[in-house]
Structure 1
Amino acid sequence: MSVAANPLFSVDPAQALRQTLLHGLQNGRWAPGERLPTERELCERYGVGRSALRRVLREFKASGFIEQTVGSGTYVAERVRERLPPRPSAASAISPAELMEARLLFEPLLVDLIVSKATAADFEALEECCRQGEAAPTLAEFEHWDGALHQRLAEATHNAFFVSVFQLATEARERGEWGLLKQKSVTPERRARYQQEHRALVQALKQRDADTARQRLAEHLANVRLNLLGRV
């Protein structure tokens, strides 16, 4: 199913691509004078149409970020670093692959604290995230409540360090590249599976069953990484 045909997708492809390419230039993914991938390669890599890509490239050319030569290609402008806006935050340097790698190691560590410290209000907040995610009419809204649920997991530890670390993960999820990958990877069937996994995780936590909750969380994150990046 294409992105355009899926009613779950409401993220603007051009806006998401703009943010992703901008972060790439800011982080030095492409050096001044370096040739960018072809239009076909960029469209395939980020799952966007050629019209959206060309609109972004026109904006970048007008801003002095890139230069285009007929018959040769698109190149990063030599003085691009003078013209780029400031990097917004540390989260901009975190790739989706790095984020998922860290989450697979980090989030299961929260379980013991949640089981021992979470209150009835914490569990109700987790349940509310599940309900809102299931009712969300668009992928963007589902993604919001998906992120909110995982943030609530950190808050249920009642540990300020874990909460602050997870806020960085939340910022990284809000970047354009994450949204593009979600567009390409999330189908209605996968979304339904994520919702079931969320419910199963919350149920195990409410039962104070740390071993089962840890296993369910690890399996959920592994499924997300497989669907998002194509590897476990």
Structure 2
Amino acid sequence: MQGGRALADHLTAEMAAGKLKEGMKLPPERELGERFGVSRGAVRRVLATFREQGLITQMVGSGTFVCAKAETLFEPRAVPAATAHTSPAELMVGRLLLEPLMPGLIVQHATAADFERMVECLGQAESAPTIEAFEHWDEALHRSFALATHNSFFVQVLDLTNRIREQGEWGRLKRISLTDETRKQYEIQHRAIVNALRDRDAELARKLLTEHLRQIQRNLFG
């Protein structure tokens, strides 16, 4: 049941992020089942729900495809007026207050698929050829933490965080502070956090995540 929920959450999030668009083909049922650790029957139930909602269509012999309606879930990532003037310093204060609360929920609710997504983000970030690409996967990793809580409040908080990070001032500070040395440091910290979460060690993960965020704060502002 939990794996089925993780699959449904993943598909919804990908559609809402504009990554699953009309005409795109979903992986086969067997592959989805293996990835999310659920039976093919559970996968079919999730897909049936999405089909009933008009989000996908299934054609025998061809596969499962995303319908145009899925794009109605997509919301442009414009920064809301209320957050348009949130400074990087204010953002970091908020992150330090909220993100360390997530490990407690993650160790209770995260699925194998959640951890696979974290590991995927780690690998992509470590192989990213540019600062912009690294920043993208850095954002994706922290969002994967929020998704792994299976609590929509934290997902919305991280989405808001990432919208604010798209502002020019954050990008300018990140380009100045993100040297090869600091990037390597972040990568090591990221892996340590994920390993603690996979070990279901909430206290250690909370400590490591807090240290990581404080390191970012020091690097950005001195």
TM-score (norm 1): 0.61
What corresponds to 2:107 in structure 1? 115
Deviation at 1:125, TM superposition (A): 0.3
> Is the Cα contact below 8 Å between 1:126 and 1:202 reproduced in 2?
yes
Q: Which has the higher helix share?
A: 2
Matched residue of 1:93: which SS?
coil
Match of 1:84 in 2: none
In the alignment of these two chains, the number of paired residues is 145
Aligned-CA RMSD value: 1.4
Q: Give the deviation of 1:181 after TM superposition.
A: 0.1
Displacement of 1:189: 0.5
Superposed CA deviations along residues 12-66 of structure 1, whole A, max 9, x for unmatched, are: xxxxxxxxxxxxxxxxxxxxxxxxxxxxxxxxxxxxxxxxxxxxxxxxxxxxxxx
Deviations 1:69-128 (A, max 9, x none): xxxxxxxxxxxxxxxxxx854332211000000001100001100010000000000000
Following TM superposition, the consecutive aligned residue runs of length 4 or more in structure 1 with deviations greater than 4 angstroms are none
Cα distance in structure 2, aligned partners of 1:133 and 1:107: 20
- Could you list the per-position Cα deviations for residues 137-186 of structure 1 after superposition, in whole angstroms to 9, with x for gaps in the alignment? 00000000001101111111001111112111110011111000001111
Is 1:147 the counterpart of 2:139? The answer is: yes
Is 1:159 paired with 2:151? yes
Q: 1:105 aligns with which of 91, 97, 116?
A: 97
Q: Do the aligned partners of 1:204 and 1:213 also contact (CA within 8 Å) in 2?
A: yes
Separation in 1, partners of 2:123, 2:81: 31
Q: CA separation in 2, counterparts of 1:215 and 1:159?
A: 21
Please, which of 224, 227, 230 is the counterpart of residue 219 of structure 2?
227
Partner deviation per Cα, 1:207-228 (whole Å, 9 max, x = no partner): 0001110010000000000000
> In structure 2, what is the equivalent of residue 131 of structure 1?
123
- 1:190 maps to 2:186: no
Question: What is the correspondence of 1:28-177 to structure 2 with a 5 Å cutoff?
Answer: 89-177=81-169
Query: Where do 5+ consecutive residues of structure 2 fail to align?
Result: 1-78
Separation of aligned partners in 1, 2:203 and 2:138: 22
Contact 1:91-1:169 at 8 Å conserved across structures: no
Amino acid at match of 1:97: A
2:183 maps to a residue whose letter is: R
Find the aligned partners of 1:159 and 1:184 in 2 and give their Cα distance. 34
Q: TM-score with structure 2 length normalisation?
A: 0.63
Distance 1:209 1:88 in 2: 36
Q: Which of residues 192, 195, 199 is equivalent to 1:200?
A: 192
Q: Which runs of 5+ in 1 are unaligned?
A: 1-86
Distance 1:104 1:91, change over 3 A: same
